[in-house]
Amino acid sequence: MGNTSSMLTQYDIEEVQEHCKHAYRNGGGFILTDEFLTVPEFAVNPLSQRLLRMLNSLNFKEFVAFLSAFSPRVPLQQKIEFIFKLYDSDNNGKVTFHDMLDVLRDLTGQFISEQQREQVLTRVLEEAGYTKDSMLVLSDFVKILGSSSDLKMEVEVPVD
C-alpha cells in the first residue's frame, strides 16, 4: 500500500463504505469486533481488549469517527480525550488509581509484580502532586499529557 496520508472527506467515507460493505461480512452495517481479532498485530496488542470494548457495536460512521483521533489534523485535545476514555473503563468521567493500575497491568503484566506496579504508580502520582486516592478528570489528563508536544498518535490511511 502506498503511504500518502489523507484525512477522509465525507465523499471518501461514503465510497469506502460502499467498498467495505461486502468486506465486513455483516448485514446490519455494524462492525463485528471479532473480525479485528483476526488481525494478528491487533490480537497481540496488550490494549486490544480495551479497544474492542470501546469499539463494540459501532456502525461504520462511528468507527471512522473513532479512528479520527489518530488523524494528524485533529487537535491534541481530542487525542488526549481518547486516551482518557480508554483509561476510564466505567465511563464516569473520572480515572482512579485502580483504572490506571489496570491499564498498567495490561501493558506490563508479565514483567513486574503487582506490588511493584502499585509502588511505581503511587510514587509517580505523588511526585506529580496527586495521591493514591485522587480521581483524575479530563483536565488533569490534559495538564499532564499536554505539557509536552511530543505526544504522537497518528495513523496514516493508506491511499493507493
106, amino acid identity: D
Q: Which DSSP string corresponds to 29-87?
A: SB--THHHHTSHHHHTSTTHHHHHHHHTT-BHHHHHHHHGGG-TTS-HHHHHHHHHHHH
* 40 near other proteins (CB under 8 A): yes
Q: Which of residues 56-95 bind other proteins (CB under 8 A)?
A: 67, 69-70, 79, 82-83, 86-87
Query: Contacts with other proteins: how many residues (CB under 8 A)?
Result: 59
Min separation Cβ 75 and other proteins, Å: 14
State how far the alpha carbon of 132 is from the alpha carbons of 49, 98, 99, 106, 147, in Å: 25, 9, 11, 19, 22
The residues of the shown chain that bind other proteins, judged by CB under 8 A, are: 1-2, 16, 19-20, 23-24, 36, 39-48, 51, 67, 69-70, 79, 82-83, 86-87, 100, 103-104, 107-108, 110-112, 116, 119-121, 123-125, 127-128, 130, 141, 144-145, 147-148, 151-158, 160
